[in-house]
Amino acid sequence: MDFKKNILVTGGAGFIGSHAVRHFVKKYSAYKIINLDKLTYAGNLENLKDIENSENYVFIRGDITDSELVESIFSEHSIDSVIHLAAESHVDRSIVSPMDFIQTNIIGTFTLLNAAKKFWQTSNHKPQTTNLFYHISTDEVYGSLGATGYFTEETSYDPRSPYSASKAGSDHLVMAYHHTYKLPVVITNCSNNYGPFQFPEKLMPLIIHNIVHQKPLPVYGKGENVRDWLFVQDHVEAMDTVFHKGKEGETYNIGGSNEWKNIDLVRKICSIMDEKLKRAAGSSEKLITFVKDRAGHDLRYAIDSGKIQRELGWKPAHRFEDGIELTIDWYMNNSEWLNHVTSGEYQKYYQEQYVNR
């Protein structure tokens, strides 16, 4: 079957990646989606069971730092577009094991850029209507805000952790390839995502899981750190918009305009879950445990997403009240998934099924 586009999605078995893969596979039957994922602890093919047999979907287990594998995928599948999501993304892990973040986030991005440049710019490459290297990044590259102000696309980079520094480095590489080699690229920097299928090292699923099991709810410092929360499906819709309408060489910030102090967010989840679990009001709040603050913990992130709204017509569709209800309900109704991913059961099974090429 001839497809209109052959899109390589990296990290498509992860949290945001699985939502993006499902969205593109279901919405665009004329697009072939090739999902390349290493299946580390946070990558889980169980997230994609509903589309795994789709005619326009292919899964390949592999590492984005493997240049031979990446180039073979470009050649075999005539890749004309890349949606690059694969990344090590947990700040705490970056503090303990920074080299993993340098390898995946910088070397991996470099490997993909080289493959795209080589394949798209060779004389024997069949011309496509368009090529695009779409790099998904984070608001953390901008550093930390005070009590006021917002990150814009013009904000200077000021990363404060090995994670954010590695993502900043990958952003710069992408733009360098655009300016030096004329590679068609676009970058988006998003705020904190939440929603179904997120690995429970992240704040929301961790708090939800611990409340269900009446375990301590760890909160860094005094819980004063502020984050802008974006429902994952709104992020995916923004990605779709940027992929189809974004201007080559541009950066777009994607945010939820939804700031919460960590402690207030945790208390909000406690209140909702006490009601859902038919527990006494305030009982879950008693589980809150303040722990030593993270090293170099940025105080506040907040995104001004005015550019993407003005120029491309995107805005978040979900109110936070609705998004948080959907998220809590999903985790409460999928406790088996949560237990399996924390045990590593699914990862082990799929790693045995898909041997590295």
CB 50 within 8 A of CB 355: no
Instruction: Show the tokens assigned to 316.
Output: 């978040």
Instruction: Show the tokens assigned to 107.
Output: 């070397």
CB 197 within 8 A of CB 340: no
Q: Exactly one of 28, 142, 150, 163 is catalytic; name it.
A: 163
Please give the full DSSP string across 8-34, using - where no structure is assigned: EEETTTSHHHHHHHHHHHHH-TTEEEE
- Beta bridge partner(s), residue 34: 8, 58
Residue 258 and residue 156: Cα distance in Å, rounded?
22
Q: Exactly one of 46, 63, 139, 153 is catalytic; name it.
A: 139
With a CB cutoff of 8 Å and minimum separation 6, the contacts of 265 are 203, 204, 227, 229
Whether residue 350 lies in the annotated active site? no
With a CB cutoff of 8 Å and minimum separation 6, the contacts of 336 are none
Whether residue 163 lies in the annotated active site? yes
Whether residue 139 lies in the annotated active site? yes
Residue 217 and residue 208: Cα distance in Å, rounded?
9
- Tell me how long the chain is: 357
Residue 8 and residue 84: Cα distance in Å, rounded?
8
Provide, for the chain, the percentages of residues in helix, strand and coil under a 3-state DSSP scheme, each rounded to the nearest 5: 45, 20, 35
Which among 170, 99, 89, 83 is positioned nearest to 132, based on CA atoms?
Answer: 83
Residue 224 and residue 220: Cα distance in Å, rounded?
8
- Please tell me whether residue 321 adopts helix, strand or coil conformation: helix
Q: How far is CA 127 from CA 61, 179, 201, 242, in A?
A: 28, 21, 43, 22
Residue 110 and residue 67: Cα distance in Å, rounded?
10
Q: Exactly one of 37, 140, 171, 304 is catalytic; name it.
A: 140
Instruction: Show the tokens assigned to 228.
Output: 């802008």
- Please tell me whether residue 254 adopts helix, strand or coil conformation: strand
- Residues involved in catalysis: 139-140, 163
